[in-house]
Amino acid sequence: MKCIVCEEPRRLVMKEADLPTPGPDEALLRILRVGICGTDMHAYRGNQPYFVYPRILGHELAAEIFVIGNNEKGLAVGDQVCVIPYVHCGACIACRRGKTNCCTQMSVIGVHQDGGMREYMTVPIRHLVRTEGLTPDQAAVVECFSIGAHSVRIAGIGPGDVVLVIGAGPIGLSTMKFAKLAGAKVIAMDLNEERLDFCKSWVPADHTVNAMNEPLREVERITGGDYPITVFDATGNVKSMEQAVQYVAHGGRLVYVGLVKSDITFHDPDFHKREMVIMGSRNANKEDFAEVIDNIRAGRIDTDAFITHRTAFTELIEQYDHLMRPETGVIKAVVQF
């Protein structure tokens, strides 16, 4: 079979590999689609935390079960599935409390172990979710949307909450969408006017703010001086994450959805006077995957507009840089097998 390996930063190589053999608790999958996300881009550029080369990238996966034995989930050969790529230990304090998304021994497919940029791969059966009724394209973006769904769920967003989401990339957009589905009023902030226009039509965001045009004053105006009760930063940008404290209402919450390979500092009085909660949102749980699939099936998420770029697996290497450039209008790129 063919696979694409990221040998080192900015170097992808097509290779031949043996067809993997599934273990007793694993299934052999035929990959149908792979979504390209920020984690892949950071790894490709050499600034992804917890990353070691060489590595097969790809964790946003839609696949067909090719080989599987008897299993408690009732999955069978031919079933279309998506993959929960966060392989957890099941025994640590986080796992025992149901927070498998932040397992102390976490091994993420496509980050800590080889991912899905290959024709076939084995995956633990417990990490497969049947996606009956979804197209392969839709199944490929379930993981991406689950990140946003998880952040909104742990933040406790409810009807009438005023929420600011900083960063209108795929993860920021998914966070906006699920905040909107939870009944919140959503303010979208980004540097790119085309992305902000997309937020207006696709989320739809109640307000948009260009981060280049006195954003603090604009957020103050929109909220009547109250500021948002919850701020999500989905930028993965140090400066943005440090400044995000300023946008949070007194008694509010700041959720870091994006991850950055750096220290984050802020002025303690700005934090302390608000009695602010600061939290990180990492990965997602099976509950989030189920919520995303239900919402896609119900037609509440427009995946057709979300997926803007496609490339064939055999053409990915030559297209990869192009698929990461904001000036191309890319929202979500998907690799087709």
Distance (Å, rounded) from C-alpha 100 to C-alpha 57?
Answer: 22
What are the boundaries of each domain within the chain? 2-140+302-336, 147-280
Question: Is 2-140+302-336 a domain of CATH 3.40.50.150?
Answer: no
- Report the DSSP pairing between strands 162-166 and 128-130: unpaired
Q: Both ends of the chain: CA-CA distance in Å?
A: 12
Angle between helices 170-181 and 193-202 (to 10 degrees): 30
DSSP state of 241: H
Distance (Å, rounded) from C-alpha 324 to C-alpha 118?
Answer: 20
Quickly name the fold that domain 147-280 has: Rossmann fold (3.40.50)
Q: Which pLDDT score is estimated for 322?
A: 84
Q: What is the mean pLDDT of the chain?
A: 96
What is the identity of the amino acid at 224?
Answer: G
Over residues 207-216, the pLDDT tens digits come to 999 999 999 9
Report, as an integer, the average pLDDT of 259-274. Answer: 92
The answer to whether 252 and 228 have CB atoms below 8 angstroms apart is yes
- How does residue 51 score in pLDDT terms, banded at 50, 70 and 90? confident
Is it the case that residue 180 has pLDDT exceeding 80?
yes
Over residues 81-139, the pLDDT tens digits come to 999 999 999 999 999 999 999 999 999 999 999 999 999 999 999 999 999 999 999 99
The C-alpha angle 336, 31, 37, rounded to 5 degrees, equals 60
Helix/strand/coil (H, E, C) string of 281-295?
CCCCCHHHHHHHHHH
Distance (Å, rounded) from C-alpha 171 to C-alpha 189?
Answer: 13
Q: Which pLDDT score is estimated for 213?
A: 93
pTM: 0.95
Q: If you count DSSP H runs as helices and E runs as strands, how many of each does the chain have, helices first? A: 12, 17
Name residues whose C-beta falls within 8 Å of residue 13's C-beta, 6 or more positions apart in sequence: 4, 5, 7, 317
Q: Which pLDDT score is estimated for 39?
A: 85
Report, as an integer, the average pLDDT of 217-227. Answer: 98
Over residues 53-72, the pLDDT tens digits come to 999 999 999 999 999 999 99
- How does residue 13 score in pLDDT terms, banded at 50, 70 and 90? very high
List, as one string, the DSSP characters of 184-230. Answer: -EEEEEES-HHHHHHHHHHS--SEEEETTS-HHHHHHHHTTTS--SE
